[in-house]
Chains A and B, each alone.
Chain A
Amino acid sequence: MADARTIPYQCASCNAVLISPVACDACHTLSERAPDLDHFGLLGIERWFQIDERALKQRYLALARSTHPDAFGGASDRLRELSVRLSAQVNEAYRVLRDPVLRAGYLLELAGGPSAAADRTVPPELLGSVMLIREELEEAKSAGDTVTIGRIRDDVRAERAATLDQIASLADAIDTVGPEQQQRIRALINSMKYYDNLLTETAVLSPES
């Protein structure tokens, strides 16, 4: 999984190897992003859930450097305006791809699956278990029982990690599965927000140093 599956781009005018089709450092120029170029393509990596995070960050930083408006201080108005827009797109691509939950959701939408706005369902067993955890948390809170709060936090973390593993195991086959399976992936992704909210609450009640 540490294998960085990258897309080999080349500059049309100088033949230099590029990270992204939108920027060539050798020519010190930028090109408009093609409408069908997704976040993966923009950062020059293949569309895949498993990602080498270090390689992703390196590519992001290199591309951020070649598109940032500060590098075009003396350039034409057109180029400066383009650099602002491209930088924003590069930042957005990195924000989505670096986060496994956002990345999975993005892959799902690319595969034609439901967006979070279109489908808010969660796995049927989740709501019951969240309610139980909440009750337990309330009790521990009024009793000032930080040991229990700490245990609940560990439990939630473990469940979150297990769910993320499930998402990961399904995400790379996202292109080949039917609508039913896509809905299931969406429900799993949606459940992450519930775990995150619970973790925020436990953090407020008993801050870790």
Chain B
Amino acid sequence: MGRIDDIIVGIDLGTTNSLVAHSETAGPRVIIDPGVDDGGVLPSVVAIDPMSGRATVGREARAHAVEQPLTTIHSIKRLMGRGFAQLAEGVQQLPYRVVQRSSGGGKGARRDPRSSGPGLRDLAVVAIGQREYTPPEISAMILNELKHRAEKHFGHAIRKAVITVPAYFDDAQRQATRDAGLIAGLDVVRIVNEPTAAALAYGLDRRDDATVAVYDLGGGTFDISILRLTGGVFEVLSTHGDTQLGGDDFDRQIIGLATREIRELFGLDIDSPATRQSLWNFAEAVKMQLSNEQQASLQIDLGSGRVYERVVTRAEFEAMIAPFIDRTLDSCRQALKASGLKSGDVEQVITVGGSTRIPYVRQRVGELFGRRPYTALNPEQVVALGAAVQASILAGVRRDVLLLDVTPLSLGIETLGGAMGKLITANTKIPCQATETFTTFQDGQTAVKINVLQGERELVADCRSLGEFELRGVPPMPAGLPLVDVTFLIDQNGILNVSARERRSSQEAGIQIVPAHGLTRDEVRRMQIEAVEHAREDMSAHRLIDLRNQVEFDTHKAEQSLQRFGDLIEADERAAILREMKALRQFATASSDANAIHERLQKFGEMTLPLAQAAIGATLRETAK
């Protein structure tokens, strides 16, 4: 595998919007669907028809969000690689239904249900009609749309992609993103951190050496990365962030304000799944207007002559979002501390992400670093452009650039007494690895369980479990004798790979992984197959529609011929055609067996052949006159 001539596209899979880009000789470019005037921005919204399971993605899906709140999914990125228990709070405000799926974890997935312990899988899924969709499946639908867009642009199949993720994404969130790619039929050749991609897009390597801070505030995630650039090397010194903080939260503040005041003024509780989507739309509009104007007005018709009208000033909005901005600035300070730098050492600040269009955000960021943020590139496109640059590096087109990224979180294992034993600390350059030796506690024990964690806290309960890793095939020996060296390797994508070897027998030990908030390999494979079958079903649905149209056309033509030339054929032939015409129409409407309809349509063609010939003869005679 890995043919260099395969085109690799760069994809920004965002909370609110997604884009696909590729590198041309002139530089990276966002791929635009010529049929839609959207600047290449695809809303990350998926509408699913509960009956057929058919998905619509993008603008059209968003347009129907108000009428179909339960079946229109937005902000799916917030659920990627997350457990239901971790989400409980934010989930209540989503218009669609999010439930917990803990079953179906494959063999050995069930164990005593401890809240954060290993073994118990907790997956947040979206429920639509009778079906549950995992977040990677929904994300795959968005990726599929982008893939189609690229395929239309290039005129051939696209199989490889670089996909960006927030720098602060943990292992489960990264794996979920890769799984989404696989389900969409994409080989995810690299996962790149969004702020790093933005730095690449700015082509900062062409400048002199510099220390740069990238502040990336999107729809649902926040990242800060501090980079040192020297001679084409992008060295990430530190990163920090919050994968559950973004523009969505600002919308939610406005929604909160409106629902509160409507309750006070009219005694109405308008917070229901049905109204939530329209409230989102109102809030978004207010937020955007306030980026350009000092105030924005909000008007909601509550029926029976009741209208809620409200003017929101910029100052009021800024007070609402200030606590969130404070949190992002705390992250910036943490990142600075980890890099060993002071805010004055940063020579350039780049702001990325739609939410940095808010003047207040730029102002506060500027104050912290003591310099005005640099915003030359479109903050919505810059990450996708950077992903395309990374794609050209992987394709071997660009050899002048080197990306040295870090792992955002410490990696460790559960030690005795529920403590987190760190093996790799946050901000270590990746790829990186650590080896730890495990042994057995009982005679003849052949399996060892390890709880692998990510986080900065001392106690297991405060960290995130990546899942239960079970070493198998340990040679049976007295307790404490086997020595299993387990290597934890974080690759260039920030994804953990684990391997084990028993020292005495130097035997490779098998490892079974039950991800705490992710999909097993078997599940991903099944979803891949389902997605392909779905595409095939879609195709046969198209064929059915085409055939039904053909039946309509052919029977209509025969009807006309019968009227004009019916007396030129035998009476019993006429009757048979009339009978079959009616029967065929009924059959085509009732049956969904495309092959049967096709067969019957062909027979009808043979049956009407004498009529057609008679019609041709008559027409010829007419013209000869």
Binding site for B on A (CB under 8 A): 61, 64-65, 68-71, 73-77, 80, 84-85, 87-89, 91-92, 94-95, 208-209
What are 29 A-B contacts with C-beta separation under 8 Å? Answer: A61-B230, A61-B402, A64-B233, A64-B402, A64-B404, A68-B402, A69-B431, A69-B491, A69-B492, A70-B393, A70-B492, A73-B190, A73-B395, A73-B396, A74-B2, A74-B3, A74-B394, A75-B2, A77-B1, A84-B431, A85-B489, A88-B433, A88-B490, A89-B433, A91-B429, A91-B432, A95-B428, A208-B342, A209-B342
B489 lies within 8 A of A73 (CB): no
Q: Kindly provide the distance from the CB of A22 to the nearest chain B CB, expressed in whole angstroms.
A: 14
Question: For residues 229 through 273 of chain B, which have their beta carbon under 8 Å from a beta carbon of chain A?
Answer: 230-231, 233, 235
- Measured between alpha carbons, how far is A77 from B403 in the docked complex, in Å? 21
In the complex, B4 has a CB within 8 A of chain A: yes
- Measured between alpha carbons, how far is A64 from B231 in the docked complex, in Å? 13
Residues of B within 8 A of A80 (CB): 2
Interface contacts beyond A68-B402, A68-B492: sample of 11 additional A-B pairs, CB < 8 Å, sorted by A:
A61-B402, A64-B233, A69-B492, A70-B393, A73-B4, A73-B394, A84-B491, A88-B432, A91-B428, A91-B432, A209-B342
Please encode chain B, from 397 to 412, with 1 for each CB lying within 8 Å of some chain A CB and 0 for all others: 0010011100000000
- Measured between alpha carbons, how far is A88 from B488 in the docked complex, in Å? 11
- Measured between alpha carbons, how far is A117 from B396 in the docked complex, in Å? 44
- Measured between alpha carbons, how far is A76 from B4 in the docked complex, in Å? 11
Question: For residues 396 through 450 of chain B, which have their beta carbon under 8 Å from a beta carbon of chain A?
Answer: 396, 399, 402-404, 428-433
A74 lies within 8 A of B431 (CB): no
- Measured between alpha carbons, how far is A91 from B406 in the docked complex, in Å? 11
Residues of B within 8 A of A76 (CB): 2
Most buried by B among A74, A94, A95, A209: A74
- Measured between alpha carbons, how far is A76 from B411 in the docked complex, in Å? 29
Residues of A within 8 A of B428 (CB): 91, 95
Residues of B within 8 A of A89 (CB): 433
B1 lies within 8 A of A88 (CB): no
B233 lies within 8 A of A61 (CB): yes
Nearest 7 pairs of A and B residues by beta carbon: A73-B394, A74-B4, A88-B431, A88-B433, A91-B429, A87-B431, A65-B402
In the complex, B7 has a CB within 8 A of chain A: no
- Measured between alpha carbons, how far is A65 from B395 in the docked complex, in Å? 15
Q: Kindly provide the distance from the CB of A91 to the nearest chain B CB, expressed in whole angstroms.
A: 4
Q: Kindly provide the distance from the CB of B377 to the nearest chain A CB, expressed in whole angstroms.
A: 22
Residues of A within 8 A of B594 (CB): none
- Measured between alpha carbons, how far is A3 from B379 in the docked complex, in Å? 46
- Measured between alpha carbons, how far is A209 from B189 in the docked complex, in Å? 42
Please encode chain B, from 63 to 93, with 1 for each CB lying within 8 Å of some chain A CB and 0 for all others: 0000000000000000000000000000000
Q: Kindly provide the distance from the CB of B108 to the nearest chain A CB, expressed in whole angstroms.
A: 28
- B interface, size bucket: 20 to 34
- Measured between alpha carbons, how far is A75 from B403 in the docked complex, in Å? 18
Instruction: Kindly identify which residue among A69, A74, A92 contacts B395, using a CB–CB cutoff of 8 Å.
Output: A74
Residues of A within 8 A of B399 (CB): 71
Binding site for A on B (CB under 8 A): 1-4, 189-190, 230-231, 233, 235, 342, 390, 393-396, 399, 402-404, 428-433, 489-492
Residues of A within 8 A of B489 (CB): 84-85, 88
Residues of B within 8 A of A74 (CB): 2-4, 394-396
Residues of B within 8 A of A84 (CB): 431, 489, 491-492
Most buried by B among A75, A80, A92, A94: A92
- Measured between alpha carbons, how far is A70 from B162 in the docked complex, in Å? 12
Q: A65-B233, A70-B393, A73-B395 are in contact. Are A87 and B492 (CB under 8 A)?
A: yes
Residues of B within 8 A of A95 (CB): 428-429
Residues of B within 8 A of A65 (CB): 233, 402
Most buried by B among A76, A80, A88, A91: A88
Residues of B within 8 A of A73 (CB): 2, 4, 189-190, 393-396
- Measured between alpha carbons, how far is A87 from B431 in the docked complex, in Å? 6
Instruction: Kindly identify which residue among A70, A88, A92, A94 contacts B402, using a CB–CB cutoff of 8 Å.
Output: A70
- Measured between alpha carbons, how far is A94 from B432 in the docked complex, in Å? 11
Q: Kindly provide the distance from the CB of A102 to the nearest chain B CB, expressed in whole angstroms.
A: 12
B431 lies within 8 A of A70 (CB): no
- Measured between alpha carbons, how far is A71 from B430 in the docked complex, in Å? 14
Chain A residue nearest to B395 (CB atoms) is: A73
Residues of B within 8 A of A92 (CB): 432-433
Residues of A within 8 A of B402 (CB): 61, 64-65, 68, 70
Chain B residue nearest to A73 (CB atoms) is: B394
- Measured between alpha carbons, how far is A184 from B546 in the docked complex, in Å? 87
Chain B residue nearest to A57 (CB atoms) is: B230
Chain A residue nearest to B390 (CB atoms) is: A70
Q: A61-B233, A70-B394, A84-B489 are in contact. Are A91 and B431 (CB under 8 A)?
A: yes
Chain B residue nearest to A75 (CB atoms) is: B2
Residues of B within 8 A of A61 (CB): 230-231, 233, 235, 402
Chain B residue nearest to A209 (CB atoms) is: B342
Q: Kindly provide the distance from the CB of A79 to the nearest chain B CB, expressed in whole angstroms.
A: 10
- Measured between alpha carbons, how far is A69 from B430 in the docked complex, in Å? 10
Q: Kindly provide the distance from the CB of A14 to the nearest chain B CB, expressed in whole angstroms.
A: 18
Residues of B within 8 A of A70 (CB): 190, 390, 393-394, 402-403, 492
Residues of B within 8 A of A87 (CB): 431, 492
Most buried by A among B342, B399, B402, B403: B402
Residues of B within 8 A of A91 (CB): 428-432
